[in-house]
Amino acid sequence: MTEIEAFIEWVIALVSSNLYPGVFFAALLETVFPPIPSEGVFPLAGYVVLKNEMSLIHVFGVGITGGGGATLGAFVIYLIALKLGRTGLARYMKYAKINKERLSKADRWFEKYGDKSVLLGRLVPGLRELVSIPAGIFHMKPKKFLIFTFIGSCAWSTLLTGVGYYLGVATINIF
């Protein structure tokens, strides 16, 4: 088992045994360290809600909690991009496993949609982790960044949590 696989299994165990704190921490980590897929964390959390016979309102609670964790992680990336700028980031991108093509795609997205790209970008897999970088580089206002990131992250987290909850319901109803 590789180190990344072991880390991902640890995150899954964290979410399974500590739903709300686990989701917050997993969302924070998956935003800062892209090897953790939100597409795996949140459906699992939705299934945990179902398995623990928690009410449907917890799907929204988990989504908002995950949105908070993702927002905190995204803000860290935003602040780094704001501080280092494009030139400074170019030196560190290889360590974060961000290639120039993906960053250029995020830049084009930001230039095309402006500040709204942060809100929309948080809903697009592959782009959602990167949209904080051009927001910082182009000096988006921090308050606007946080609001747009939180709304987009909560929507994404709630959607995926709901998928896990309803797929669990469908599985239970089949058997």
Looking at the domain assignment, is residue 34 inside a domain?
Answer: no
86 pLDDT more than 50: yes
pLDDT of residue 9: 80
Domain that includes residue 87, residue range:
40-49+58-170
In the predicted model, what is the mean pLDDT of residues 143-153? 96
Q: Which residues does 172 contact at the CB level (< 8 Å), separation at least 6? A: 50
Please state, in angstroms and rounded to a whole number, the distance separating the CA atoms of residues 175 and 168. Answer: 11
pLDDT of residue 79: 95
Please state, in angstroms and rounded to a whole number, the distance separating the CA atoms of residues 136 and 21. Answer: 28
Going by pLDDT thresholds of 50, 70 and 90, the confidence category of residue 98 is low
The domain total for the chain is: 1
pLDDT of residue 114: 82
Q: DSSP assignment of 6-57, as one string?
A: HHHHHHHHHHHHSHHHHHHHHHHHHHHSTTS-HHHHHHHHHHHHHHTT--TH
Looking at the domain assignment, is residue 35 inside a domain?
Answer: no
Higher pLDDT, 92 or 156: 156
Question: Measured over all CA atoms, what is the biggest interatomic distance in the chain, rounded to whole angstroms?
Answer: 56
Looking at the domain assignment, is residue 19 inside a domain?
Answer: no
Mean of all residue pLDDT scores within the chain: 84
3-state secondary structure of 97: coil
53 pLDDT more than 70: yes
Looking at the domain assignment, is residue 133 inside a domain?
Answer: yes
In the predicted model, what is the mean pLDDT of residues 107-136? 84
Looking at the domain assignment, is residue 23 inside a domain?
Answer: no
pTM: predicted TM-score of the whole model, two decimal places: 0.84
At residue 102, what is the residue type? R
172 pLDDT more than 60: no
